[in-house]
Amino acid sequence: MTPEPHVPTLEERAAALRVEVQKHLDATAVAYGFDDIRTAVTYADEPAVPRFQAQGRAFRAWRSLVWDFCYSLQEKVAAGQADEPTLEQLLQMLPVCDFLAFQPAPETPVE
């Protein structure tokens, strides 16, 4: 007799989604030239290059907003107050990074 297949628990499914959210954070940082999200946020407190500092701050704030959203949603799902999302649904629901920090500063006219 073959054993019943393992049906992942809510916590196991949530853990799998957290892994994928971390991959999303890292992939977004990589797309902007950083090694990963951890590297990106190290620039937040580095004033030597204002552009990198602005990007680091944007990534740091975004990372916090994403995880706050994920853990709040996880609590709502566990309490039966929200449906459990698929990965694709979850990624669409996540806060968006403030990519204005990645735009070059406007040129100051020379008088």
Read off the pLDDT of residues 75-96 as tens digits, 9 standing for 90 and up. Answer: 999 999 999 999 999 999 999 9
Predicted TM-score of the model (pTM): 0.85
The answer, yes or no, to whether residue 40 has pLDDT greater than 80, is yes
Q: Which of 105, 111, 4 is nearest to 55 (CA)?
A: 105
Mean pLDDT of 39-58: 94
Using CA atoms, how far apart are residues 30 and 39, in angstroms rounded to an integer?
10
Helix ranges (H only) for the chain are 10-31, 37-42, 50-78, 87-93
**SS3 at position 40:** helix
Both tokens of 46, joined, read: 């580095």
Calpha distance 53→45 (Å, rounded): 6
pLDDT value, residue 98: 83
Is it the case that residue 107 has pLDDT exceeding 90?
Answer: no
Round the CA-based radius of gyration of the chain to a whole number and report it.
19
- Nearest alpha-carbon partner for 87 in 26, 14, 28, 12: 14
Q: Can you tell me the mean pLDDT for 18-42? A: 96
Instruction: Give the pLDDT band of residue 108 (cuts 50, 70, 90).
Output: very low
- Residue 40 to residues 8, 35, 67, 76, Cα–Cα distance (Å): 33, 7, 16, 30
Average pLDDT, the chain: 91
